[in-house]
Amino acid sequence: MAYVVGIDTGGTYTDAVMLDTEIQGPECIKRKAKAITTHEKLEIGIRNSLEKLLLTKEEIQKIEKVVLSTTLATNATVEGKMGRIGLVVIGGTPAGKLATENVVIVEGKVNIKGRIIHDVDKEEVRRAVETLASRVDSFAVSGQASVRNPILEQRVKAVIQSMCDLPVVCGHELVSELGYLERTNTAVVNAGLLPIIDEFVKAIQKILGEMQIQAPVFVVKGDGTITKIESIKNTPIDTVLSGPAASIIGAINLTGIGNAIVADMGGTTTDIGVVKEKRVELSPDGALVGNWKIKIKSAKLYTYGLGGDSAIKVENDEMKVGPERVVPSSRGDAHNVTPTDILHYTGEFVQWDRKKAEDAIIEQAAEASITPDEYVEMARNEIAAKIYENLKRYRKIKFPICAIGAPAESWYRIAQKKYDFELLVPKHYEVANAVGAATSGVSVEVEAMIRPGEEGGGYLVHAVNERFEFDEFEDALAKAVEVTEAYAVQLVKKQNLEASYIKYECRNMYLDEEQIIYRDLPVAEDGTIEIGDDSDYGKYLETRIKVQVGGKIFANV
């Protein structure tokens, strides 16, 4: 028998669960706990939730892994509480607002094919870096078209590392697509999160050490997969939006359903995502976090301001719910009214002080010149309507609604009764996010691209850290698969894991009479790709190769 501990830090609560790895479905949960999230120091709430699990010494020894889903990176980005970032751009700044004001420009250029037009001058880089080094905590480096050839970014990074001990992040290391502004800001935000995540990782390791938990620690990424906690010290941006992703994974594992619209109702907001064939639907455009559009792999989400702690107010005879978050009267001393207080008044959910909730509702009802019962009925109708209005955007997708999160069962059943839609509320719905953290898997995905060479001669392979030229397409394709697979496997092994599976995808793009045509090439299990005859498809434009490697934990690691 072995256990996995899953932890999720939400806006209101930090949840923890202990799962039995030999049991599937909701019966795998052996223990669960909630603690108030401590926003200034998330690790305090994490410690409190772990302590509430009441783990025995024997159980601690049988913990196979600990998995965290944390809001730290998301909150720091939204609130602008990142470290001081120095940005070195090569050849000119991208059009648009940058995520830092500490910017220097150095000469250098590669063209869209990746050929060096103007190399960087190391002395110029040194002079530029000297103007920033004393007033920043980390560096980001970004150059236009660097994803076609990262050599200039790599040379600038090497100069910075030779001058100081500050961490350095390059745009091509995080994003493999064109889009200069988004790639640059992704690198800047990642660099700004480095000192914050480093402190968090040390705090978590200290807590687990004090509790004698020696199991490896993983963190959920925004796409619902997990990575070793040491890995996020280099790429903390991967954990942005990890909470909603964990919730969707939790819904999949608690219900066993393959297709669903998952609504996660928390304290402040409700996040809605789609599950298709037991896979989280990902956003092709990255994510908007605070003021910044960043290119990360993340769940495709729709978020709106309704949660258990949303403020309820009557203004000009109209009731409004959210988006402002307040402390419920039932849980504090303020005279606020929230959906949580409404449930305390009706007796449908009573966890704190029901009398305080009643007093606040009586007071606000009197101010609105209505009875408390009328006030409560108005609130119930308004909340149910808001839930249904936001579900209607998914009405073309004929999937059932799966509601999770602490307030979800009460409010979604109220909405279902009023509007009649198919609803699933799984057992342990209130800790689905922590369940998702515990049941997520390790997966690394790496891409490469093949395009025609300059003036149509030969083929260029644009890989993560390299660029290659070939005369024949077959040779270019073989190299692209080789380096992409090797890099993905290397990323898994860096986490002290072995590769449990390797999956390949290969797609060609053509232009035929002003229409883009895609052709998926058959790929064997060993990565061999069947090219076939493509003479009927039009003008060849490019090939994209994607390699996905799963990681399996070594025994006793």
- Write down the pLDDT at residue 25: 83
In angstroms, how far is CA 127 from the centroid of its own chain?
37
Report which DSSP code applies to 393.
G
- Write down the pLDDT at residue 508: 94
- Mean pLDDT value across the chain: 91
Q: How many CB atoms lie within 10 A of CB 20?
A: 16
State which H helix or E strand residue 444 sits in.
strand 442-452
Q: Is 468 part of any domain?
A: yes
pTM: 0.82
- Write down the pLDDT at residue 439: 87
Burial of residue 24 (CB within 10 Å: 0-12, 13-18, 19+) is exposed
Tokens of 376: 């409560």
Q: Is 109 part of any domain?
A: no
Angle subtended at Cα 16 by Cα 10 and Cα 18, rounded to the nearest 5 degrees: 150
Indicate the residue among 405, 439, 473 that finishes a domain: 439
Q: Is 272 part of any domain?
A: no
Report which DSSP code applies to 21.
T
Q: Has residue 399 got a pLDDT over 60?
A: yes
What's the pLDDT band for 553 if we cut at 50, 70, 90?
Answer: low
- Write down the pLDDT at residue 86: 97
Q: Has residue 556 got a pLDDT over 80?
A: no
- Write down the pLDDT at residue 557: 30
Q: Is 291 part of any domain?
A: no
In tens, the pLDDT along 303-323 reads 888 999 999 999 888 999 988
Mean pLDDT along residues 133-162: 95
Indicate the residue among 398, 418, 439 that finishes a domain: 439
What's the pLDDT band for 552 if we cut at 50, 70, 90?
Answer: low
What is the span of the domain harbouring residue 58?
A: 3-77+199-257+435-439
CATH number for the domain spanning 230: value is 3.30.420.40
Q: Is 335 part of any domain?
A: no
Least confident span in 201-215, 278-292, 389-403: 278-292
Which of 72, 78, 59 lies closest to 18, judged by CA?
59
The larger pLDDT score, comparing residue 228 to residue 456, is at 228
In tens, the pLDDT along 245-290 reads 899 999 999 998 889 999 999 888 899 999 998 888 988 888 888 8
- Write down the pLDDT at residue 285: 84
Pairing of strands 459-462, 467-470: antiparallel
User: Position 209: which residue type?
Assistant: G
Contacts of 385 (CB under 8 A, 6+ apart): 418
Cα–Cα dist 171/169, whole Å: 7
Q: Is 408 part of any domain?
A: no
- Dihedral pair phi/psi, residue 392, rounded to 5°: -60, -25
- Residue 196 in contact with residue 82, Cβ under 8 Å? yes
Q: Has residue 159 got a pLDDT over 90?
A: yes
What are the beta bridge partners of residue 279?
276
State which H helix or E strand residue 138 sits in.
strand 138-143
Q: Is 252 part of any domain?
A: yes
State which H helix or E strand residue 255 sits in.
helix 242-255
Cα–Cα dist 491/500, whole Å: 13
What are the beta bridge partners of residue 88?
104, 141
In tens, the pLDDT along 180-207 reads 999 999 999 999 999 989 989 999 999 9
Indicate the residue among 411, 439, 467 that finishes a domain: 439
What are the beta bridge partners of residue 63?
3
Cα–Cα dist 129/141, whole Å: 11
In tens, the pLDDT along 357-375 reads 999 999 999 999 999 999 9
- Write down the pLDDT at residue 555: 37
**Count of structural domains, the chain:** 2
The larger pLDDT score, comparing residue 496 to residue 345, is at 345
State which H helix or E strand residue 473 sits in.
helix 473-493
Q: Is 489 part of any domain?
A: yes
Which of 441, 328, 428 lies closest to 34, judged by CA?
428
- Write down the pLDDT at residue 288: 85
